[in-house]
Each structure stands twice: as structure tokens, then as C-alpha cells.
Amino acid sequence: MQELTFIFDTGSAWTWIPSEDCPDEECPNRHYQYHLSSGYHDTGEIDNVVYGIGEIKGQIVNDDIAITKSTEYQALDVNFLSVYYAKDLATIESDGLLGLSPKSNYVSRGNTEPMHLLVNEMKIDGII
């Protein structure tokens, strides 16, 4: 299990984590190390997100994500951006971002965001 911190973003459904391929000067905090995960799967797709003056680019990957140290609140087969490029986000005070918005950015891929999965699997209460 890799422990990472997240900013909860109510305005986005995106979940992204800097990968070990993102240079430290662009992604100064901890990085997602896909080679340490037995559940990692690369979808073969890439995408980018713009935040004001900031921007990220990454591979859309699939893995399991838990929002606590317990697997009780684990979402399986989650798609998220494994970031390899970040611009003007070096001052962010977390490792990544966990999108809480009910609007799906992955419509063509199904509702595969962590919060959708946790609600659909009845691991947390919510209206999505």
C-alpha cells in the first residue's frame, strides 16, 4: 500500500497522482510508484487538465484506491491520471487531487472515479 495525501476537490471528478515519471521540480511531493502495485493497469490513454494557470498531463491508469488505511473504504478498478508533467503546481501542499464532483470526466469509460465507486458499492453514503 502506498500512502499519499490528497486535496478534496468538489469542483472536479478528476483524481490525479504524480507518477514517479514526474520530475521533482514539477511534482515535489510523494509520487505514485506503479511498479509497487499489483493492481496497476495502464489503459493506453493520456489526458490533461488545466487549472487556471496550472496544468497536468498524465496517463490514464487503473488501480485500487482506499480513502483510509483500511480496505473497508477501498474502491476497486479506479481510473485516474498518473501525472508525468505538471506546470505551476509545485506549491501544492498534497501529493495529488481527489475529485468529489458528481459530474464524470470519464463518461466513455463508465463511472470509475473513486467516489462513484464507493457510493455504488455502498461503502459510503452519498447521492451521485
N residues, the chain: 128
**Residues pairing with 6 in the sheet:** 96
pLDDT for the residue 53: 82
Q: pLDDT of the chain along its 128 residues, tens only? A: 788 888 888 777 788 999 999 999 888 888 999 889 888 999 999 999 887 888 999 999 998 887 777 777 677 788 889 999 999 877 778 888 888 776 655 444 454 566 666 666 655 566 54
User: pTM surpassing 0.85?
Assistant: no
pLDDT for the residue 45: 92
Rounded to whole angstroms, how far apart are CA atoms 41 and 45?
11
pLDDT for the residue 108: 41
Helix (H, G, I), strand (E, B) or coil at 113: coil
**13 neighbors 106 (Cβ within 8 angstroms):** yes
- In the chain, the domains with their CATH numbers are 6-120 (2.40.70.10)
